[in-house]
Amino acid sequence: MDPNEVINGNQILAECLKQQGVEYVFGIVGIPVIELSLAFQQVGLHYVGMRNEQSAAYAAQAIGYLTRKPAVCLVVSGPGLLHVMGGMANAQVNCWPLLVIGGSCSVDHEGIGGFQECPQVELSRPYCKYAARPASPILIPQHVEKAFRVATYGRPGVCYLDFPGNLLNANCKREDLAYPKPCPPPPLCYPDPKFIDKAARQLMYSKRPLVIIGKGAAYGCAEKEVWNFVTKTGLPFLATPMGKGVMPDSHHQSVAAARTAALLGADTIVLLGARLNWMLHFGRPPRFNKNVYVIQIDLCAEELHNSVTSGVAIQSDIAVAVDSLIQQLSNWRYDDNSEWWNELRDKSAKNQLTVQAMMKDTSVPLNYYTVFHHMQQVIPKNCIIVSEGANTMDIGRGILLNNFPRHRLDAGTFGTMGVGPGFAIAAALWCKYNAPHKRVLCVEGDSAFGFSGMEIETMFRYKLGIVIVIVNNNGIYGGLDSNLWEEIRKDGKATIVSPPTSLTPNIHYEEMSNLCKGIGYFCNTIPQLQQALVNAFKTEDSPSIINVMINPSADRKPQTFAWLTESKL
């Protein structure tokens, strides 16, 4: 390269991202980042134009989760950055690496009412690990390397870099630039041996042990070590929603069907990259034994002892800690015929009988359980499943199986609706270049689909064969049937008496496929649904929408406890 070559901020930023190993950029262009998006393509980055900034952030963070390497979300100034805040918060709470790059108002226009003027660095700080604006083109490489490193080291998260229009267009000589070397992979964090020994001793004396496999184990690619640990020790296990697949859902040691009994009855719990937040009921009564002994393994020191005081708290990468535990427990195995195992098996069998009755009920209108059960019969066993919604996501989690790690993406810890299409686009792109034999199934509630439904056009534009199933109950949690809806409307009081959870009945979402000359399916029965799925998975270069109508009053099976542990204040 010519050291006297004059280059501008756009080219510098593009080259820096390429050098650090970024592969994908998702975004929406406008002033002042149009030229930047072209520079990204010129250096070989995959730029994917989305229809909404939140969806762009969801797609970029899903790439970060699947690859452990941040993708970029590119947004314009002002409203563009504000729209992406939901995506930034979701990635930060989920602990997924993400790099957001925002164009911003030129510096000389700040304070006098510049176009889309906004304090973007300050606004981003609550939702990320690092937020900065390079002071000159020469400093861009330094900030890019730091942002990439901070997003991936320790607990992964979000970084934001701000680029005013005049900075992107500013010039400097190539000889004035110092490009940092590519950021090496995060260093492994090894466990303290004395804590491993203490944890092993506790497990050997435990009468009612349980392993909980979290999203951190999936992100840490610890599936080999976790498999060895669970199978060699014979311990029962549960998975958190995105911990599914680290151990196959179909494995005989899974006690997912007896989740409530397992959590309440365990006297020792091994947490593998799982947090005791709302998703695990904070680790407290009435959902847990008040005297439960927690063996906590987590990469983040600040997470240790959070919510409850752990008996053993081990800061470590999951894989190396579990491998150390295996060595300590090499001559020990939990009794397969123990009272605890028999109790869990009995409870699982009883719960499965209850669910099986609902699965077999194919009467119209359909229920959630029969829809998911009959979907499971025909979908590819190795597909990546994206899911969001209320009951759609929660019920589907227990029936749609994941037997491979990092093959489930859902609303996650932040409970964010609208993530589905963005996640599905990211997963389909990853499959396209890394595992072309895999397919992506995106299972949406009708309300959830409404948040990001226009990303259908993005899927068509990039020829992504995503199969979208919309489980349609006419509302949020539940809606109204057509007759009751018309009764409300005919007296002219719909805006007053229509329940806030209601959506228009029998909306034909599948017709959105017609916008791009695709194929959609409207289903009321199980044979229609299964045939639609078979046909849809034969279509590899465009998305398919399957709109399956269910009973607006369909709900989950009766619960021992409410799904969300209530506050006691």
Q: Decide if 403 contacts 248 (C-beta within 8 A).
A: yes
What is the enclosing helix (H) or strand (E) of 72?
Answer: strand 72-75
Mean pLDDT of the chain: 95
Give strand ranges (E) for 121-261: 130-132, 158-164, 171-173, 209-213, 237-239
Rounded Cα gap, residues 498 and 552, in angstroms? 14
Confidence check: pLDDT of 427 > 70: yes
Confidence check: pLDDT of 266 > 80: yes
Q: What is the mean pLDDT of residues 342-355?
A: 96
Q: What is the pTM of this model?
A: 0.96
User: What is the reported pLDDT for 499?
Assistant: 86
Higher pLDDT, 486 or 172: 172
Q: Residue 167: which pLDDT band, with cuts at 50, 70 and 90?
A: very high
Q: Residue 281: which pLDDT band, with cuts at 50, 70 and 90?
A: very high
193 burial (CB, 10 Å; 0-12 / 13-18 / 19+) is exposed
How much of the chain, in percent, has pLDDT values that exceed 90?
89
Q: Give the residue among 516, 13, 66, 185 at the shortest CA–CA distance from 58.
A: 66
User: What is the reported pLDDT for 142?
Assistant: 97
User: What is the reported pLDDT for 491?
Assistant: 67
Confidence check: pLDDT of 373 > 80: yes
51-83 per-position pLDDT tens digit: 999 999 999 999 999 999 999 999 999 999 999
Which residues, 6+ apart, have CB-to-CB distance to 256 below 8 Å?
238, 239, 249, 398
What single-letter DSSP state applies at residue 544? Answer: E
User: What is the reported pLDDT for 568?
Assistant: 67
143: left (phi over 0), alpha (psi -120 to 50) or beta: alpha
Q: What is the mean pLDDT of residues 392-406?
A: 96
Q: What is the mean pLDDT of residues 281-295?
A: 97
Beta bridge partners of 74: 27, 101
Confidence check: pLDDT of 477 > 70: yes
Q: What is the mean pLDDT of residues 188-216?
A: 98
Q: Residue 300: which pLDDT band, with cuts at 50, 70 and 90?
A: very high
Confidence check: pLDDT of 360 > 70: yes
User: What is the reported pLDDT for 409?
Assistant: 98
Q: What is the mean pLDDT of residues 133-139?
A: 97
Confidence check: pLDDT of 292 > 80: yes
User: What is the reported pLDDT for 566?
Assistant: 72
Rounded Cα gap, residues 62 and 304, in angstroms? 26
Q: Residue 494: which pLDDT band, with cuts at 50, 70 and 90?
A: low
Rounded Cα gap, residues 374 and 526, in angstroms? 7
